[in-house]
Amino acid sequence: MRATPLGPIWLSRRARRVLPATTLAFAIGLAACSSSPSSTTTTKASTSTTSPSDPYAQADLHAQAGSLTGAGSTFDQPFFTKAFYVYNQQDTGVTVNYASIGSGGGIQQFQAQTVNFGATDVPMTPVDISKATGGQVLQVPVALGGEAMSYNLPGIKSGLKLTGPVMADIELGKVTTWNASEIKSLNPGVNLPSNPIETVHRSDGSGTTYIFTDYLGKVSPAWAAGPGTGKSVSWPVGVGEKGNEGVAGFIKNTPYSFGYVELAYALQNQFTYAEVKNAAGDYVFPSLSTVAADAAQKPNITAVDFSIVNQAGATSYPISGYSWALVYELQKNQALGTTLVHLFDWLTHAGQAQAKTLDYVPLPANIQQLARTTLLQVTGPDGKTELLTTS
């Protein structure tokens, strides 16, 4: 075997020829790095004149110059991006940097206090909260979403009728063809094909999966005892695709497929989706109003009892859920804390108009009130001064 030209020979001969140039380039690189300007955050002074009837709303738009950071849920990201921009433009001068790194990462960063707020699709558990280093945690519902049960059946438009138990049986692999008697009996007169159902689900952990499996667990004992409820579950059948766009792409490309897609995504892409039978026994299409009707049925949600799937009411669409913001009850910086609570008070009230433009479901009035009650508990460093004020 020929000896490889490594070691001292290589060092003394070739390295000497190459190194000076490399060293110089490295030095120049370092100089360039150190001379780059430090990032500047500009904050505008505020001169708001908006005066709705809501006394808090005026205060929301008062001068609260500052820069906040948050991290978490990807579901919230389009809404947050737009809402924070609008808030900044309304002469508040508040800039918010939101990193949509996923709920898990958001909770971790919030626990370690590297961000001012976190956002998560499923509230923090008591175990999660015990790991938070900043004291008592408050969880505020900020966004509401529903899920469309989408399918690709050549020749069949939106409006196939499905029930929770039948969907659970499809996902459990008990109902395997489109013309199975369980589906046929719900859709008399519809010419259902005999092809196998190609089910698709989210492969990435997601709040969307949590809401869907939460629903399946509530309507099907077999699902509750089997795969159960979670952000990623062990699916008995079907294909996993990453993200809403992955699931949507699969359904679009695959005839006879069936899967759950975020409502906003299904509405914006003109998907075909099913009418789902709700707890009152009525078949309901998913829409902003039917999801809101479902959510309004349960005004007393808490971070422990937060599930709103399968609520009563004739117009309730049963597959829906909240996304949550995380803030510490005791704010160590009075000014930033004040900015934070007013931002979220705005976000859960006037800011919901921005949610609607992006096909998120605006929070029902009773939940807006709940958000405010929660934010009123936030205090300054002394533990007494309420930060959310009307003036």
Please report, as ranges, the residues that interact with another protein according to CB under 8 A: 1-2, 4-5, 11-12, 14-21, 23-24, 74, 101-105, 107, 120-122, 125, 127-128, 196, 198, 203-207, 227-235, 238-242, 246, 249-250, 253-254
- Note whether 75 and 208 are within 8 A (CB): yes
Q: In degrees rounded to 5, what are phi and psi of residue 256? A: 70, 20
Chain centroid offset of residue 313 CA: 25
The distance of closest approach from Cβ of residue 206 to another protein in the complex, given in angstroms and rounded to an integer, is 6
**Nearest CA-CA partner of 340 in 119, 141, 96, 156:** 96
Chain centroid offset of residue 165 CA: 26
Chain centroid offset of residue 68 CA: 19
Angle at 188 between CA 184 and CA 194, to 5 degrees: 35
The distance of closest approach from Cβ of residue 24 to another protein in the complex, given in angstroms and rounded to an integer, is 8
Pick 241 or 294: Cβ nearer another protein: 241
- Tokens (6 digits) for 145: 């979403």
Pick 220 or 316: Cβ nearer another protein: 220
Pick 230 or 313: Cβ nearer another protein: 230
The distance of closest approach from Cβ of residue 234 to another protein in the complex, given in angstroms and rounded to an integer, is 4
**Element housing 290 (H / E):** helix 288-296
The distance of closest approach from Cβ of residue 386 to another protein in the complex, given in angstroms and rounded to an integer, is 31
238 contact partners, CB below 8 Å, separation of at least 6: 171, 198, 199, 200, 201, 259
Pick 201 or 277: Cβ nearer another protein: 201
Pick 238 or 318: Cβ nearer another protein: 238
d(CA 154, CA 270): 15
The distance of closest approach from Cβ of residue 248 to another protein in the complex, given in angstroms and rounded to an integer, is 11
What single DSSP character describes residue 330? B
Q: Which sign does the torsion angle of CA 250, 163, 315, 300 carry?
A: negative
Pick 23 or 333: Cβ nearer another protein: 23
Pick 86 or 222: Cβ nearer another protein: 222
The distance of closest approach from Cβ of residue 368 to another protein in the complex, given in angstroms and rounded to an integer, is 27
Pick 196 or 299: Cβ nearer another protein: 196
The distance of closest approach from Cβ of residue 145 to another protein in the complex, given in angstroms and rounded to an integer, is 15
d(CA 161, CA 185): 10
d(CA 327, CA 132): 11
384 contact partners, CB below 8 Å, separation of at least 6: none
The distance of closest approach from Cβ of residue 320 to another protein in the complex, given in angstroms and rounded to an integer, is 19
